[in-house]
Amino acid sequence: MSWSAIQWYLQRITGAALVVLLIAHFWVEHFASERLLRGELSYDAIRARIASPLWQGIDIAFLLIALYHGLSGLRNILLDHGRIGPGAARALTAV
């Protein structure tokens, strides 16, 4: 399998993962918090949730997946629609 095919699949996989993580994020942050539903959400409640290694891992994974997906999409736009030479295309792909 070529490198461009792997990048194509990774773009689709990260897009699907972003949809799942975004839905989970909205659910946890806006609907599943009992304190929020009671109107008692505070800085300390959010700080306690963020202190959990599980939530730290989920948030960091969300950010890294979004970063990869966004930068890969920007690379695809530049390669498809940008007026760049072959040397710049190789440099853009190498980075």
User: CA–CA separation, 55 vs 61, rounded Å?
Assistant: 10
85: left (phi over 0), alpha (psi -120 to 50) or beta: beta
Tell me the pTM.
0.77
Per DSSP, the three-state class of 90 is helix
Greatest C-alpha distance within the chain: 59
Residue 1: is its pLDDT beyond 90?
Answer: no
pLDDT top residue among 60 and 87: 60
Q: pLDDT per residue over 29-64, tens digit each? A: 777 777 666 777 778 877 888 898 998 898 899 999
User: CA–CA separation, 63 vs 77, rounded Å?
Assistant: 21
Percent of the chain clearing pLDDT 70 (strictly above): 94
Round the average pLDDT of the chain to a whole number and report it. 85
pLDDT score of 95? 56
